[in-house]
Amino acid sequence: MLEGIIRESIDKKATKALRKDGFLIANIYGKGIENINAAFKSNEFIKAMKSKTSLSFPVKVEGTEYKVIIQEYQKHPVTSMLLHVDLRVVLDGVLSKYLIPVKTEGTPVGVKNKGILINSKKRLLIKCAGENLPNNFTLNVDNLDVGDAILIRDIDVPANVTIMEEDRVAVTGVIKAK
């Protein structure tokens, strides 16, 4: 389990000192929970993210355990080193909005016919309770030809999960190469 510390001071000087010591700055927040300014060891955080098997994962800050998802992160523009991460607490029994990743599998027919696969939505906004949170939406793109697309209304949605996007929006498609 990933363990972190609570940041006592949130000013620029303290943040720089923590980063210099190898810490990743994090904010933990959720419905009905007071915001927590935390810090995790950067290397441990990256190892935990690479080894996790589901979208949500447990973290422990000052003896309190939270089930969280990554809401947003910031990288350094030159070195691509993680600078900051926002962690959102997943609450069971409470309806909340989450961004769920979209993954594609297979090779489209249109790619063999000189087309290009375009993923226009990398994450979809959904509304559900914490216990119904899907890990991702997996789309099979084998049958897509040039000019075809998979819309939001074509996605199989699990029970008790609502997609908050318009149903006519394309998620992925194959376009003609120029």
Domain extent at residue 50:
2-89
Taking Cα atoms as reference points, which of 97, 94, 136 lies closest to residue 119?
136
* 126 and 103 housed in the same domain: yes
CATH number of the domain encompassing residue 135: 2.170.120.20
Tens digits of residue pLDDT in 28-87: 999 888 999 999 999 999 999 889 888 899 999 988 999 999 989 999 999 988 889 999
Q: What is residue 23's predicted lDDT score, i.e. its pLDDT?
A: 92
- Could you give the dihedral angle defined by the CA atoms of residues 56, 5, 83 and 21, in that order, rounded to the nearest 10 degrees? -140
Q: What is residue 1's predicted lDDT score, i.e. its pLDDT?
A: 83
- Could you give the dihedral angle defined by the CA atoms of residues 10, 12, 13 and 18, in that order, rounded to the nearest 10 degrees? 60
Contact assessment for residue 44 and residue 1, using Cβ atoms and an 8 Å cutoff: no
Q: Which amino acid, 36?
A: I
Q: Is 34 exposed, middle or buried (0-12, 13-18, 19+ CB in 10 A)?
A: exposed
Question: What is d(CA 120, CA 139) in angstroms, rounded to the nearest whole number?
Answer: 13
* β-sheet with 115-119: strand ranges across: 115-119, 170-176, 149-151
Q: What is residue 113's predicted lDDT score, i.e. its pLDDT?
A: 87
Number of domains composing the chain: 2
Q: Is 178 exposed, middle or buried (0-12, 13-18, 19+ CB in 10 A)?
A: exposed
CB atoms within 10 A of CB 61: 21
Q: Which amino acid, 10?
A: I
* 13 and 42 housed in the same domain: yes
For residue 74, list its beta bridge partners: 84
* 63 and 103 housed in the same domain: no
Q: What is residue 177's predicted lDDT score, i.e. its pLDDT?
A: 83
